[in-house]
């Protein structure tokens, strides 16, 4: 369950960065990650638990998700957000953009998998791989470019 929570948290924290949600005056990256991770953990706990153990599974999932999401949110910064958006903007399908964050030492890789047009705007399916403290997580997402040029997770 923890591995699934971590993977979902990576995807949603990436979504928050691409959408520009961690702006001045808003929630910190760690706070946003903790909220997203906690919500996902609670949902996963509800799916896993049954009977009288369901409440315990929801609580455990929420706590684990908040911890993992907060950690991932804390590890991604503006460098990672910019590099992810740049990969979506410039890399052809199946070509990976890899980097190591100079501030954290964490490694990331974004690979656009396919490109299509939806509603008159470019959309891309992509795979994100993060290696944080030796833990490798890979998630797949979809993003479309907005009218102002940002990439927004769908």
Distance CA 56, CA 51 (A): 10
d(C-alpha 149, C-alpha 111), whole Å: 19
Q: What is the pLDDT of residues 48-93, one digit of tens each?
A: 656 666 666 666 666 666 655 555 555 557 788 888 889 999 999 9
**pTM of the predicted model as reported, rounded to 2 decimal places:** 0.57
- As given in the structure block, the two tokens for residue 72 are 């991932």
Q: What is the DSSP letter of 104?
A: T
Determine the Cα–Cα distance for residues 120 and 4; give it in Å rounded to an integer: 34
Other CB atoms within a 10 A radius of the CB of residue 34 amount to 24
Helix, strand or coil for residue 101? coil
pLDDT score, position 137:
83
Asked if pLDDT for residue 21 goes beyond 50, the answer is no
CA distances from 104 to 52, 72, 113, 123, 148 (A): 42, 12, 27, 30, 30
In this prediction, residue 99 carries a pLDDT of: 95
């Amino acid at each position: 369950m923890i591995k699934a929570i971590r993977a979902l948290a990576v995807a949603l924290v990436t979504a928050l960065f691409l959408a520009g949600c961690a702006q001045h005056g808003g929630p910190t990256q760690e706070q946003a990650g903790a909220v997203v991770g906690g919500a996902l953990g609670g949902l996963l706990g509800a799916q896993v638990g049954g009977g009288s153990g369901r409440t315990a599974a929801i609580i455990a999932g929420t706590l684990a998700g908040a911890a993992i999401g907060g950690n991932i949110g804390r590890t991604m910064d503006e460098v990672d957000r910019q590099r992810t958006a740049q990969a979506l903007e410039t890399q052809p399908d199946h070509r990976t953009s890899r980097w190591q964050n100079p501030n954290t030492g964490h490694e990331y890789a974004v690979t656009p998998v396919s490109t299509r047009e939806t509603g008159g705007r470019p959309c891309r399916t992509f795979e994100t791989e993060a290696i944080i403290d030796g833990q490798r997580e890979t998630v797949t997402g979809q993003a479309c470019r907005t009218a102002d040029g940002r990439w927004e997770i769908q």
